[in-house]
Amino acid sequence: MKYTTAQAIQILERTPAVCTALLAGLSDDWVMQNEGPETFSPYDVIGHLIYGEQTDWVPRAKRILEFGNSKTFDKWDRFAQYELSKGKSLQQLLAEFAEERKKNMIWFKSLQLTETDLDKKGMHPVLGEVTLRNLLSTWVVHDLTHIAQITRVMAKQYRSEMGPWPEFFRILNF
Amino acid sequence: MKYTTAQAIQILERTPAVCTALLAGLSDDWVMQNEGPETFSPYDVIGHLIYGEQTDWVPRAKRILEFGNSKTFDKWDRFAQYELSKGKSLQQLLAEFAEERKKNMIWFKSLQLTETDLDKKGMHPVLGEVTLRNLLSTWVVHDLTHIAQITRVMAKQYRSEMGPWPEFFRILNF
């Protein structure tokens, strides 16, 4: 599947609603547990997505459009949400994510990116040269894989209640 | 996390809305592709969930409550939806799943299951003896892991557009 901005927006625009449908109103047993040290709970994931909206995808896209590969992206803290989400309810985080994403979608749609824009290069501090197309595709994949993570983490909480059934669920060993 | 019917219902009731938030209105490029032979597309998954409502979870729970482990569950066809979904739009399938699940939730809530009920045993044709608690926990996990699958399958469609980024996404190799 080739990247198109129209199809990327189809996913990016709906992710906050998906997260809300998935998590709003659940008991803490479902949303506060993770997969072990340095892994995310569903609650952590929403904070991580907010931080991404504020500091990763859009700032990096802007840097590519403004500086090309002459100015390396800032490094990104995968664990920033442990601090930033403190004291906030999941409901607050879901609303905050929806708001940040909405703002970013307005900006993103206003760009009217061409194929030439998508080929523009930027410099990732670890991965080296990347294109704007790579960055935007990864933004979409980052949404989708974090939804997969949220549901996998929740599924694992019932593993011990399933009797012999886990052997049919390869994903529980991921 | 221990199984409770209240917390199981929190997940089971919302899955149709999650699937709709995730898939309604997407272009076919997102919903009709899979991960290779004998794997499911997002479209296939919804048909599979419908078939599960009709022939798996509730009929098996009924069999346990009625016959215990003296009558083995019927075998279950993981690929039945290839035939059953034919000619139906994704929108139709999403509506059908929501309807079937709603009906099953009314029945499920009416049971008022006790701990003694949850300990009742049934006979799985492959796995052998299971409890009603095992079956109901697995129903929840089946929902969650298929949502994980849907988003993973969609994420993989952009793999080739991500440049060097896939190395940060272990799930794309699953």
pLDDT tens for each residue of B113-163:
999 999 999 999 999 999 999 999 999 999 999 999 999 999 999 999 999
Please report the pLDDT score of residue B52 as a whole number.
97
Please report the pLDDT score of residue A134 as a whole number.
98
Residues B171, B156: contact at Cβ < 8 Å? no
Mean pLDDT of the B39-64 span: 97
The amino acid sitting at B103 is K
Question: Which of A30, A33, A172 is nearest residue B10 as measured by Cβ atoms?
Answer: A30
Subunit contact A162:B141, Cβ cutoff 8 A: yes
The Cα B152–Cα B140 span in angstroms is: 19
As a whole-number percent, the residues of chain B with pLDDT over 70 amount to 100
What is the helix (H) or strand (E) element at residue A1, kind and residue range?
none
Subunit contact B165:A2, Cβ cutoff 8 A: no
Other residues' Cβ atoms within 10 Å of the Cβ of residue A6:
8
Distance from CA of B158 to the nearest CA of A (A): 6
Instruction: Please state the ipTM of this predicted complex.
Output: 0.96
Read off the pLDDT of residues B86-107 as tens digits, 9 standing for 90 and up. Answer: 999 999 999 999 999 999 999 9
Subunit contact B7:A27, Cβ cutoff 8 A: yes
**Percentage helix, strand, coil for chain B under 3-state DSSP, each rounded to 5:** 65, 5, 30
Subunit contact A134:B159, Cβ cutoff 8 A: no
Which residues of chain B have a CB within 8 Å of the CB of A115? Answer: none
Question: Which of B11, B137, B169 is nearest residue A161 as measured by Cβ atoms?
Answer: B137
Which are the contacts of B12, defined by CB distance < 8 A and separation ≥ 6? Answer: B101, B105, B108, B139, B140, B143
What are the DSSP calls for B33-95, one per residue?
Answer: --SSTT---HHHHHHHHHHHHHHTHHHHHHHHHHHGGGSPPPP--TTTHHHHTTT--HHHHHH
Mean pLDDT per 10-residue segment, chain A (174 residues): 98 98 97 94 97 97 98 91 92 98 98 97 98 98 98 98 97 92
**Average pLDDT of every residue of chain B:** 97
Distance from CA of B52 to the nearest CA of A (A): 15
pTM: 0.97
Mean pLDDT of the B71-92 span: 92
Tokens of A112: 């009217």
Please report the pLDDT score of residue B79 as a whole number.
86
Residues A105, A9: contact at Cβ < 8 Å? yes
What are phi and psi for residue B77, nearest 5 degrees?
Answer: -95, 105
Mean pLDDT of the B77-83 span: 86
Please report the pLDDT score of residue B140 as a whole number.
98
